Amino acid sequence: MNISYNWLRELVAIELTPGELRERLTMAGLEVEALHEAGDDFVLEMAVLSNRADLLSHLGVAREASVMTGGAVRLSLEEPKRIAGKTEDLTSVDVQAPDLCPRFTARVVRGVKIGPSPAWLAERLQAVGQRSINNVADITNYVMLELGQPLHAFDLDKLTEQRIVVRRARAGERVQTLDEVERELHPEMLVIADGVRPVAVAGVMGGAETEISETTTSVLIECAYFAPVSIRRTSRALELRTEASDRFERGVDYEGQLRAQTRTVALICELAGGAATEDAIDVYPNRSSPPVIELRFSRVGELTGVDVAPREALRILGALGVQPSGREQNGKESAGNAAEVKDITNSASVNFVSPSWRTDIRIEEDLIEEVARHAGYDKIEAMLPPSSGAGEYRANEDRRRAARRTLTAGGFDEAFNFSFIDAAAHDEGFELLPTLTQQAGENDARFVTLDNPIIEGAARMRATLLPGLLASVRHNFNHGTRDVCLFEMGRVFAANTEPGRLPVEREAFALVATGGALEQGTAAASRESDFYDLKGALDAAADAMKLSALEFKAESVKHLREGQAASVLLGGQPVGFIGRLADAIAAAYKFRQPVYVAEVDLSALFE
């Protein structure tokens, strides 16, 4: 959006230089991409966010500038010369698609003389990148750039039956737009038609058959609010993007149609002669109600770190057109008197009414953003985040560390594996063991299953540490390492049998050993690891954790080799298992040498 510096100064008193204004606007969150001279003027090239349709106008930028300068926005709303008679006597409006056109206004100017625009108007349009066409067309473009409201001028005498029908297009209908391209219309598109045919693609571009020409003497000015989604879809379907569609897509001021209509008609009467009808046809069956939003002044500092006094917050919002509830006056800004301001600023919170041109202001945080960005994000003091308190070790962390030191000194390496595993790992004989002592049967409902796993296939939370450790052993084998001693401490999970309860989560401790065993005082393996090497490591870890002596009871364990398996007991209660991996499971992992495993319920050991 190109903004004229001189044009802005007509709308609000600005003492800032163009460069200073650019800097201030940018610091307030409005990105000014470039600033360049245009004759005796300066033009600011602004990048406008999709939710700030109000900034596609000089009036919208003037409101932002008024916050910085403290001056009030000045806008000419003079009524045009009139003739006896009403618009209804010359034309009619029938809105057949109110869902796509909530508001439509029309007014007629008769006796106009089409010709070139005065120099000041043509130069102003040229400065912001617009080509001068004729006085009436230039005025509609001028008002669009000034107020942000697109309008269109029809030659009234070229409208069949001199009436307007706003409806959806009919199958097979076509229209030749002002760019002299004939376009096929679809039933979901909104058109402006006369008594017979479409004469404009609503909100996108007018039609060539009813355009203003040198012979035009009666002009119908339409000014409407069209549903943004409808205009966006039509524009994309026709591959036709215009200044008008860009504004309607974002959402124009839904209460600004009569203001733009009056401004346009007054300029036409002044610059093209003629006189206007007494009033406009205004089809607005379902009036929109602006949202009322409570602002707690204390929340500004809490959310942003910017300390803003209530009086200053009220000033900023007022300059932007956001008024306390009860003080808005038909969409116009109202400053209020000193007594009212004092009363409001002494309140802890105030209800504000979002202006019709700011459809992006809907909740309290939106108001806070407006206050904070104009108060200045640069005023936020640098500070460290508050501490949540001193850290501390988990219970029994000293025991875990002692076990780690002991196992590491004995030649073991600690492994860290994911808590989620491939479902196939359990299917190879590792059914769910809720307490590591009771086999629960192969029932998927007993597993904790992830709805949205971050790794494809890894949809189960581990019920035992062994799948991860065995995968680590296989990884070492595949890379040429045959002597592997690993241990891991971590959480295991089981689905709760009681409906609605959280999963059971316990801490486990597992070891795995395979390949050569290191004898004390030697640097190389002199024999193969066996059951008793792993049992000794488990005993040493238990002793380091200051636990009572573990007991071992020979018995069958499903995933361990028969005759080389035992249950681990503490105080006579089973807490785990130890033994050689069953041949079927070893074959599934493609192990070609004995692998010994042990796993105990660490939570039970610490109880």
Q: Which two tokens stand for residue 186?
A: 């679809």
Tell whether domain 397-606 is in CATH 3.30.930.10: yes
pLDDT at 520: 56
**Average pLDDT for residues 507-517, to the nearest whole number?**
93
pLDDT range class, residue 434, cuts 50, 70, 90:
very low
DSSP 108-165: EEES----PPPHHHHHHHHHTT-----HHHHHHHHHHHHHS---EEEEGGGSGGG-EE
Contact 569, 437 (CB under 8 A): no
Q: What is the pLDDT of residues 524-566, one digit of tens each?
A: 566 899 999 999 999 999 999 998 888 999 999 888 999 999 9
436-442 contacts, C-beta under 8 A, 24 or more apart: 436/464, 436/492, 436/506, 436/508, 436/575, 436/576, 436/577, 436/599, 436/600, 436/601, 436/604, 437/567, 437/574, 437/575, 437/576, 437/601, 439/558, 440/494
Distance (Å, rounded) from C-alpha 510 to C-alpha 600? 6
Pick the CATH number of 292-379 from 3.30.56.10, 2.102.10.10, 3.40.50.300, 3.40.50.970: 3.30.56.10
Q: Where are the domains of the chain?
A: 2-69, 87-283, 292-379, 397-606
Contact 191, 173 (CB under 8 A): yes
Same topology between domain 2-69 and domain 292-379: yes
**Average pLDDT for residues 410-425, to the nearest whole number?**
84
Contact 372, 300 (CB under 8 A): yes
Q: Is 462 helix (H, G, I), strand (E, B) or coil?
A: coil
Cα-based torsion angle of the residue sequence 206, 210, 214, 218 in order, rounded to the nearest 10 degrees: -110
DSSP assignment, residue 208?
G
Does the pLDDT at position 589 exceed 70?
A: yes
Of the candidates 516, 487, 500, the one whose C-alpha atom is nearest the C-alpha of residue 599 is 487
CA dist 463 → 252, 330, 422, 511, 582 (Å): 58, 66, 12, 15, 18
Q: What is the pLDDT of residues 18-71, one digit of tens each?
A: 999 999 999 999 999 999 998 899 999 999 998 999 999 999 999 999 999 988
pLDDT at 438: 39
pLDDT at 240: 96
Phi, psi (rounded to 5 degrees) for 294: -85, 130
Q: What is the pLDDT of residues 296-312, one digit of tens each?
A: 999 998 998 888 999 99
Distance (Å, rounded) from C-alpha 56 to C-alpha 47? 10
Q: What is the pLDDT of residues 99-118, one digit of tens each?
A: 999 999 999 999 999 999 99
Does the pLDDT at position 337 exceed 80?
A: no
Q: Is the dihedral of CA 436, 441, 444, 445 positive or negative?
A: negative
Of the candidates 178, 179, 173, the one whose C-alpha atom is nearest the C-alpha of residue 191 is 173
List the single range of 2-11, 235-244, 442-451, 577-586 with lowest mean pLDDT.
Answer: 442-451
Q: What CATH architecture does domain 87-283 belong to? A: 3-Layer(bba) Sandwich (3.50)
**Cα three-residue angle 29-34-38, rounded to 5 degrees:** 130
One-letter identity of residue 32: V
Say which CATH topology domain 2-69 has.
Phenylalanyl-tRNA Synthetase; Chain B, domain 1 (3.30.56)
Contact 222, 151 (CB under 8 A): yes
Q: What percentage of residues in the chain have a pLDDT greater than 90?
A: 69
Distance (Å, rounded) from C-alpha 521 to C-alpha 450? 48
Phi, psi (rounded to 5 degrees) for 530: -140, -175
Of the candidates 271, 276, 277, the one whose C-alpha atom is nearest the C-alpha of residue 134 is 271
Distance, C-alpha 121 to centroid of its chain = 40
Q: Hunting for tokens 């737009």 — which residue is that?
A: 177
DSSP assignment, residue 337?
-
pLDDT at 444: 52
Length of the chain in residues, anyone?
Answer: 607
Q: Is 312 helix (H, G, I), strand (E, B) or coil?
A: helix
Cα-based torsion angle of the residue sequence 470, 476, 482, 483 in order, rounded to the nearest 10 degrees: -70
pLDDT at 523: 52
